[in-house]
Amino acid sequence: MKRLQILVLAVFLPFAAAAQDSPALPVQDAQGVTMAEFLWLKRPVVVFADSPNDPSFATQLEYLAEQPQALAERDVVVIVDTNPAGKSFFRQKLRPRGFSLVLMDKDGEVEIRKPRPWDVREITRAIDKFPLARQELLERFPSGR
């Protein structure tokens, strides 16, 4: 029995350590937050819903929590707004209807709007096509021409 316990610990311990090492996904409530705080620093991914109980909203947050490292590598900050009466800066600027996912670039421009949840793979592929993200990659990994 002890061998089985040791085997189970040996198998699952690396996964527990890896889970602790991954960065937490930066999620901020939209109330009191403006784009000026993130301009040229972060790429806001704004998730809107009319209620925190919206199934699409819950699904989107689950998707985002699955791969926080991929989002952190792209300087993403997740902003959530589930209060239509709150009239947050992002709600006034982006004017969502029901559930909405909005991808913005570091310059504050809206790049993509989606009416359904997107997984991290789709989000990161879209971000990697943004002109500013491509420029950052070229500066980080210049070709040796």
* Domain residue limits, the chain: 23-140
Region 57-70 average pLDDT = 97
Region 131-139 average pLDDT = 89
Report pLDDT for 80: 98
Q: In this predicted model, what pLDDT tens digit does every residue of 1-51 receive, in sequence order? A: 434 333 333 334 344 444 445 567 779 999 999 999 999 999 999 999 999
Q: How much is the pTM?
A: 0.80
Report how far residue 91's alpha carbon sits from residue 82's, in angstroms, rounded to the nearest whole number: 10
- 2.40.30.10, 3.30.300.30, 3.40.30.10, 3.40.50.1820: CATH of 23-140: 3.40.30.10
H helix intervals, the chain? 2-21, 55-66, 68-73, 89-94, 120-127, 131-140
**Beta strand 100-104 pairing with 76-81:** unpaired
> What percent of the chain clears pLDDT 90, i.e. is strictly above it?
73
